[in-house]
């Protein structure tokens, strides 16, 4: 195993889907990522909440190999909150309310024990904050980052600087189109690689994902065939968590290993969407994840 660090949000979410409402549940990119990644590798958790946070993360992650030395509970600050809803095919969330709160303040301090992290995932937050964190890591083997249309629209210069410093960008197809102006995802992937990363992973929701690298190698995988979609929130972060956890466990980043990691990411996402909040990904086991991996392998062979 290799050391794996994630930094991102911890949130108080309220989510409405055709299957019900989950009020003030635990959420956030770092939470979903860590829950998923911990099935494969130990995780170093870097994040900040306000002193109003109702969740005890050490209790939430009991039994998981997640280190919380990097969790800061900031006195006088309020925890990030998000309200959203899904309708119809639930392909995209409608954001109904966002309170950045502590996420609009200074980022957490990287503990000395985290600075030698080999695999680093900069989950979705402002690119300037992602760069601030990255500068504190000594010599990582692989740095991956997530982004979103908000930063493409409002902080593109910072994002372009970040892309020069990372190895992998993870984003969805709409964000790839917005960033590059390309409607074709292959052309979008090539344009993103020209900006700095050597690997790009484009998430396509119910249509799966695509990975493209600087060698011209391409891997396209459909989503896991499931008829249980309760709440898509956090699916992309769970995907990234299992992918990065698998890579850190393998200790290498070649094309074959990347393909396997994306398979595990796809399976992890299929568990997350099966229940509200983290309940779907938290309640499974590695054996069940491996079973779905075998099923996905069978249905994609020809």
Please report, for the domain that includes residue 23, its CATH number. Answer: 3.40.1190.20
**Which stretches of the chain drop beneath a pLDDT of 70?**
none
Query: What is the pLDDT at residue 90?
Result: 87
Query: What is the pLDDT at residue 88?
Result: 86
Alpha-helical runs (H) found in 156-208: 156-163, 173-180, 185-194
For 125, the 3-state DSSP assignment is coil
Do residues 121 and 6 lie in contact, with contact meaning Cβ atoms separated by under 8 Å?
A: yes
Query: What is the pLDDT at residue 251?
Result: 97
The model carries a pTM of 0.96
pLDDT in tens, 79-117: 999 999 999 888 888 999 999 999 999 999 999 999 999
Query: What is the pLDDT at residue 20?
Result: 96
The number of domains in the chain is 1
Query: What is the pLDDT at residue 150?
Result: 87
Query: What is the pLDDT at residue 92?
Result: 82
Q: Token pair for residue 31?
A: 């939470």
Query: What is the pLDDT at residue 91?
Result: 81
Domain span including residue 178 = 4-300
Query: What is the pLDDT at residue 179?
Result: 97
β-strands 119-122, 142-146 pairing: parallel
β-strands 168-172, 142-146 pairing: parallel
């Amino acid at each position: 195993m290799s050391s794996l660090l994630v930094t991102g949000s911890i949130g108080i979410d309220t989510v409405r889907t055709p299957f019900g409402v989950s009020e003030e549940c635990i959420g956030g990119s770092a939470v979903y990522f860590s829950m998923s990644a911990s099935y494969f590798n130990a995780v170093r958790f870097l994040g900040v909440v306000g002193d109003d946070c109702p969740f005890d993360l050490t209790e939430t992650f009991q039994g998981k190999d997640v280190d919380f030395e990097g969790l800061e509970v900031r006195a006088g600050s309020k925890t990030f909150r998000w309200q959203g809803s899904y309708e119809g095919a639930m392909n995209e969330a409608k954001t109904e309310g966002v309170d950045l709160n502590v996420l609009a303040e200074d980022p957490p301090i990287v503990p000395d024990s985290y600075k030698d992290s080999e695999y680093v995932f900069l989950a979705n937050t402002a690119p300037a904050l992602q760069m601030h964190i990255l500068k504190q890591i000594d010599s990582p083997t692989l740095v991956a980052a997530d982004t979103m249309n908000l930063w493409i629209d409002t902080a593109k210069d910072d994002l372009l600087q970040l892309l020069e410093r990372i190895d992998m960008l993870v984003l969805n197809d709409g964000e790839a189109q917005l960033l590059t102006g390309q409607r074709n995802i292959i052309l979008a992937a090539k344009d993103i690689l020209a900006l700095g990363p050597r690997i790009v992973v484009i998430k396509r929701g119910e249509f799966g994902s695509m990975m493209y690298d600087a060698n011209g190698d391409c891997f396209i995988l459909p989503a896991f065939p499931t008829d249980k979609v309760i709440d898509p929130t956090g699916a992309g972060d769970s995907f990234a968590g299992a992918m990065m956890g698998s890579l850190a466990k393998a200790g290498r980043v070649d094309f074959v290993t990347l393909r396997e990691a994306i398979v595990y990411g796809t399976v992890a996402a299929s568990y997350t969407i099966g229940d509200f909040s983290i309940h779907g990904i938290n309640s499974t086991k590695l054996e069940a994840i491996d079973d779905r991996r075998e099923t996905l392998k069978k249905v994609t062979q020809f």
